[in-house]
Amino acid sequence: MIYNLVGYYSLLLGLIIGLSLFYFSYKNFNNSNILDNKILSFTFLQLFLVVISFLCLIFSFIVSDFSNETVFNNSHTTKPLFYKISGTWGNHEGSLLLWLLVLTLFIFLFLLRTKNQPVKYKILTLVFQQIIIVGFFLFLILTSNPFNYIFPTPKEGLGLNPILQDPALAIHPPILYLGYVGSSIIFSSVLAATSLKIISTSWASHIKKWILISWIFLTLGILLGSIWAYYELGWGGFWFWDPVENVSLMPWLALTTLLHCILVLEKKSILTSWVIILSIATFSLSMCGTFLVRSGILNSVHTFANDPERGLFILVFLFILIFLSILIFFFFHKDNDKKYYNFFWLSKETSILINNWFMMYFLSVVLIGTVYPIFLDVISSQKISVGPPFYHKLMIPFLIPFLLMMAIGPKLKWIKSQFEDKIYLISFFIISILLAFLVLKNFNQNILINTILISSALYLFFITLRDFFVKKYKNISQNIAHFGFSLLILSILFNNLFTSEIITNLKVGETFENSKTKIFFESVDQKKEKNYNAIIANFSISNSNGEEDKFSPELRIYNQPVIATSEADIKTTLMSDKFIVINLVQNQDFFNVRYQVKPFMLWIWLSVILISFGGIVSFTKKRL
Amino acid sequence: MYGRKVKLRFLFIAIILLTLILTVFLILKSLEENVIYFQSPTEIKSLTEIDKSKIRVGGMVKKNSISINSNEVNFVITDFKNEINVSYSGAVPNLFAEGKGIVAEGFLEDRNFFSATKILAKHDENYMPPEVKEALGEK
């Protein structure tokens, strides 16, 4: 009850403070050389109010206050405490409040941590960020108030979708949001810097930190979502080119490209237009993703309620922001081409530029694959879907030169370069091809494109691996990230090529047998928990080497809401995962069994962690 | 006639234009090849020829139609106007049940038989794919 009121009025107050900040910024902008203390304290107050409001929602969830509509729709008294808390952001209203929290947190940290930059720049960044913040305040209060009051108070809530009741998914939204929404601060400060024409090398090294933060969290957030999909959805894969995954990948691609551009800008003060456009693109893509997911156009676990009004609001807001930023870009940005900077074709700049083009290509493939079905539906009401073959076909051929560039690019020098150590560059290349050929030959997987792809990935792998040992390599963070990427591609390739799968229907006591694997369905147990009943199936599976493993995957039937989910049983080892998931078809005594052996699964996760670790190293590196 | 710089710039623009055109062409071409169309049982009944490409069929799983053996699941998808028999040998999603909405992906054998390669998993029991809703809404 009381939480509802406090939470709601904090939101209103936060909105008012947001509006008053425009006024203070305007006053401060014209007549001061130092940042007005009022601005900092009001920004803090705004953050504080949003935190209060957020805590109110969390408390409402903890005490199961069903007079709150959001809590009623998404919680239940029998839910474990941990999932009561994580349920706070497991719904539309709560997750938008989290979005707002990240927005206000970032602008406060930005004002606090930014030194050595002009006051006008700080104020203008605040103004742009406040435009976004006020927009989201309005969105929250007008269309999706988390503190709606219901009377009479219901006795029991409707419960949280059971597949969201999972540790990885409990922390996935906050981590992802830090990256996804964190890109807003890049957007705001780029707009500010463009209008003040202060884009320079020192500005670049200042904004680089913020780009890195977003990038690290976005990478980890996507990873968590992917791990969750792997063990919870029971499809045994980690990436499905589902539109919802794509909308997280698109900002990541833009952000990664931006990260590379900002390095060039920091060193050479070129590619400014790239930096501006990419910063705008990253945040627009984040907003666009929110629009697609929340408007109910794309259907997924992220679509909480299909409300056209909400979709329309975000769409209009998105267009306003894009329009504003394009306006600023065209009116204020003059490329300082007076001191036209000439760089030789063989240089670090060129290689980064070329890889930018590749990234943009990947981005447009994902964008078209995601948006085209929606577009077609609107204009011709034809229902289509675009599957993985589309993405694979368009991406894989271009991945090859991309990987090679990733290996060679960092070896080049700025401005003009020659290949040094030609011998080892070439010899590594030959070794990679031979190795790839051998591996595939041994496993009767002799397909040309795979050989080439694996060789280029191996090439990057060897080159970056060597750099860890050779000389005190200057750019250790880059090397870690690129090494991680080569490992990622290799693991995905081997995982795809060598996964084996058995799908069969078994009754208790039956055995499935083929040349390599024997699956024996031993018995069925039952288990009763507070919020679900489980059927546990016990299997013993032996392979041709005589190794035997026991598996007990579960089928859970949650009571609030009544939904059945499969809990896969996964045995993870360094080299491969064994994955089994069961399902029971209604009114039948057959169990549907899916058993997979997936090599290098662990390495996919590890390599992504390694990639973001590269970012962390770069972030902590002492500079300035 | 033209200076070297102008020529170079011209070449540069030409290359960029060519790459762009090629990219767009490539993307559109493979879109055409890899798109999966959605059809309701009624639409399938009225097909004049059976296409060999992959499609999606959506509707309700008919009551009492599921039968299962050691390597296959058979059931009937209905939009309450027409029906189609589906055979499927793969993993079944959790919310696969009689009387629930479903989308199956696979190939048509003829107008009455569909062999599915994938049954799409749903996340929520109340959720109905918009395609299915539309297919059922026509009744």
Q: Scanning every residue of chain A, which has its alpha carbon at the shortest distance from the alpha carbon of B125?
A: A563
ipTM of the complex: 0.79
Chain B nearest-CA distance from A501, in A, is 10
Look at residue A397 in the predicted model and tell me its pLDDT. Answer: 87
Contact B66 A588 (CB under 8 A): yes
Q: Which of B68, B89, B90 sits opposite A585 (nearest CB)?
A: B68
Q: How many domains does chain B have?
A: 2
User: Which long-range contacts (C-beta less than 8 Å, at least 24 apart) are formed by A208-213?
Assistant: A208/A259, A208/A262, A208/A263, A208/A266, A209/A619, A210/A110, A210/A182, A210/A185, A210/A186, A211/A186, A211/A255, A211/A258, A211/A259, A211/A262, A212/A259, A212/A615, A212/A618, A212/A619, A213/A178, A213/A179, A213/A182, A213/A619
Helix axes A119-143, A2-31, angle to 10 degrees: 150
Report the residue count for chain B: 139
Tokens of A142: 């007008």
Contact B27 A368 (CB under 8 A): yes
For residues A261-280, average pLDDT? 88
CB environment A300-311: b (16+ within 10 A), e (fewer): ebbbbeeeeebb
Contact A585 B66 (CB under 8 A): yes
Look at residue B2 in the predicted model and tell me its pLDDT. Answer: 64
Same-domain status, B29 and B41? no
Tokens of B67: 């039968």
Q: Which residues of A touch B94 (CB under 8 A)?
A: 234, 563-566, 583
Q: Which of B30, B36, B127 sits opposite A385 (nearest CB)?
A: B36
Q: Is A49 part of any domain?
A: yes
pLDDT of B59 over the 60 cut? yes
Q: Which of B27, B35, B89 sits opposite A384 (nearest CB)?
A: B35
- Identify the residue with better confidence: A478 or A422: A478
Phi, psi of B108 (to 5 degrees): -80, 130
CA A156 distance to own-chain centroid: 34
Q: Which residues of A touch B97 (CB under 8 A)?
A: 585-586
Tokens of B47: 């097909």
What is the domain extent for residue B5?
1-35
Contact A503 B91 (CB under 8 A): yes
Q: Is A30 part of any domain?
A: yes
* Strands B83-88 and B113-119, bridge-based pairing: parallel
pLDDT of A208 over the 90 cut? yes
Q: Is A62 part of any domain?
A: yes
Query: For residue B131, what are the contacts with CB-CB under 8 A and spacing of at least 6?
Result: A383, B38, B40, B56, B58, B103
Q: Which residues of B touch A383 (CB under 8 A)?
A: 37-38, 56, 130-131, 134
Q: Which of A383, A389, A564 sits opposite B38 (nearest CB)?
A: A383
Q: Which residues of B touch A394 (CB under 8 A)?
A: 26-27, 30
Tell me the per-residue pLDDT of A522-541, one tens digit each, with 9 for 90 and over. Answer: 988 988 888 888 989 999 99
Same-domain status, B21 and B76? no
- How far is residue A32's CA from residue A22's CA, in Å, rounded to a whole number? 15
Question: Could you give the 3-state DSSP secondary structure of residue B107?
Answer: strand
For residues A99-120, average pLDDT? 92
Same-domain status, B54 and B31? no
Range in A157-161, A164-168, A234-238 the model is least confident about: A234-238
Contact A386 B125 (CB under 8 A): no
Q: Is A85 part of any domain?
A: yes
Report the residue count for chain A: 624
Q: What is the DSSP letter of B118?
A: E
Contact B93 A234 (CB under 8 A): yes
CA B61 → CA A462, A516, B123, distances in Å?
A: 53, 35, 17
For residues A508-533, average pLDDT? 88
pLDDT of B125 over the 60 cut? no
Chain B nearest-CA distance from A464, in A, is 30
- How far is residue A595's CA from residue B90's CA, in Å, rounded to a whole number? 11
Look at residue B133 in the predicted model and tell me its pLDDT. Answer: 66
Choosing among B20, B72, B123, B126, which should be mutated to test the A contact, i.e. which has the most A CBs within 10 A?
Answer: B123
Chain B nearest-CA distance from A590, in A, is 7
Contact A564 B72 (CB under 8 A): no
Tokens of A519: 């699956």
Contact A562 B125 (CB under 8 A): yes
For residues B10-23, average pLDDT? 86
What is the domain extent for residue A568?
500-602
Tell me the per-residue pLDDT of A273-316, one tens digit each, with 9 for 90 and over. Answer: 889 999 999 999 999 888 887 776 665 556 555 566 778 888 89
Does residue B72 sit at the A interface (CB-CB below 8 Å)? yes
Q: Is A309 part of any domain?
A: no
Query: For residue A389, what are the contacts with CB-CB under 8 A and spacing of at least 6?
Result: B34
Look at residue B122 in the predicted model and tell me its pLDDT. Answer: 54
Look at residue A252 in the predicted model and tell me its pLDDT. Answer: 96
Question: Average pLDDT of chain B?
Answer: 80
**Alpha helices, DSSP H, located in A505-600:** none
Confidence of residue A419 (pLDDT cuts 50, 70, 90): low
Using left for φ > 0, alpha for ψ between -120 and 50, and beta otherwise, residue A231 falls in alpha
* Residue at token pair 């090859």: A400
Same-domain status, B27 and B66? no
Tell me the per-residue pLDDT of A354-379, one tens digit each, with 9 for 90 and over. Answer: 888 899 999 999 998 888 888 887 88
- The DSSP secondary structure of A136-178, one letter per residue, reads HHHHHHHH--TT-B-SSPPSS-----GGG-SHHHHHHHHHHHH
Q: Is A569 part of any domain?
A: yes
Q: Is A486 part of any domain?
A: no
pLDDT of A343 over the 80 cut? no
Q: Is A83 part of any domain?
A: yes
Q: How many CB atoms lie within 10 A of CB B20?
A: 10
Q: Which of A383, A393, A505 sits opposite B30 (nearest CB)?
A: A393
Q: Which of A361, A505, A561 sits opposite B23 (nearest CB)?
A: A361
The domain that contains B93 carries what CATH number? 2.40.50.140
Tell me the per-residue pLDDT of A531-569, one tens digit each, with 9 for 90 and over. Answer: 888 989 999 998 888 888 899 998 888 887 777 888 889
Tell me the per-residue pLDDT of A561-600, one tens digit each, with 9 for 90 and over. Answer: 777 888 889 999 998 899 998 888 766 778 888 899 999 9
Q: Which of A373, A387, A592 sits opposite B91 (nearest CB)?
A: A592
Q: Scanning every residue of chain A, which has its alpha carbon at the shortest distance from the alpha carbon of B131?
A: A383
Phi, psi of A132 (to 5 degrees): -65, -45
Contact A394 B27 (CB under 8 A): yes
Question: Average pLDDT of chain A?
Answer: 87
Q: Which of A300, A384, A592 sits opposite B123 (nearest CB)?
A: A300
Query: For residue A368, what are the contacts with CB-CB under 8 A and spacing of at least 6?
Result: B27, B31
Contact A364 B127 (CB under 8 A): no
Same-domain status, B104 and B50? yes
Same-domain status, B80 and B61? yes
Question: Could you give the 3-state DSSP secondary structure of residue A537?
Answer: strand
Question: Could you give the 3-state DSSP secondary structure of residue B115?
Answer: strand
pLDDT of A258 over the 80 cut? yes
Instruction: Yes or no: say if A262 and A356 are a contact pair by the CB < 8 Å rule.
Output: no
Instruction: Yes or no: say if A152 and A73 are a contact pair by the CB < 8 Å rule.
Output: no
Q: Which of A235, A387, A503 sits opposite B34 (nearest CB)?
A: A387
Look at residue B103 in the predicted model and tell me its pLDDT. Answer: 84
Contact A583 B130 (CB under 8 A): no
Q: Scanning every residue of chain B, which has its alpha carbon at the shortest distance from the alpha carbon of A586?
A: B97
Same-domain status, B27 and B54? no
Nearest to A348 by CA among A271, A262, A412: A412
pLDDT of A417 over the 70 cut? no
Contact B123 A161 (CB under 8 A): yes
Q: Scanning every residue of chain B, which has its alpha carbon at the shortest distance from the alpha carbon of A296?
A: B130
Tell me the per-residue pLDDT of A209-230, one tens digit each, with 9 for 90 and over. Answer: 999 999 999 999 999 999 988 8
Task: Tell me the whole-structure pTM to 2 decimals.
Answer: 0.91
Same-domain status, B31 and B42? no
Instruction: Yes or no: say if A126 and A21 are a contact pair by the CB < 8 Å rule.
Output: yes
3-state SS, A372-403, equals HHHHHHHHHCCCEEECHHHHHHHHHHHHHHHH
Look at residue A624 in the predicted model and tell me its pLDDT. Answer: 38
Look at residue A324 in the predicted model and tell me its pLDDT. Answer: 93
Q: How many domains does chain A have?
A: 2
Confidence of residue B139 (pLDDT cuts 50, 70, 90): very low
- How far is residue A219's CA from residue A248's CA, in Å, rounded to a whole number? 9
Q: Which residues of B touch A389 (CB under 8 A)?
A: 34
Tell me the per-residue pLDDT of A65-109, one tens digit each, with 9 for 90 and over. Answer: 899 988 998 888 888 899 999 989 888 889 999 999 999 999 999
Same-domain status, B52 and B113? yes
Using left for φ > 0, alpha for ψ between -120 and 50, and beta otherwise, residue A375 falls in alpha
Instruction: Yes or no: say if A482 and A618 are a contact pair by the CB < 8 Å rule.
Output: no
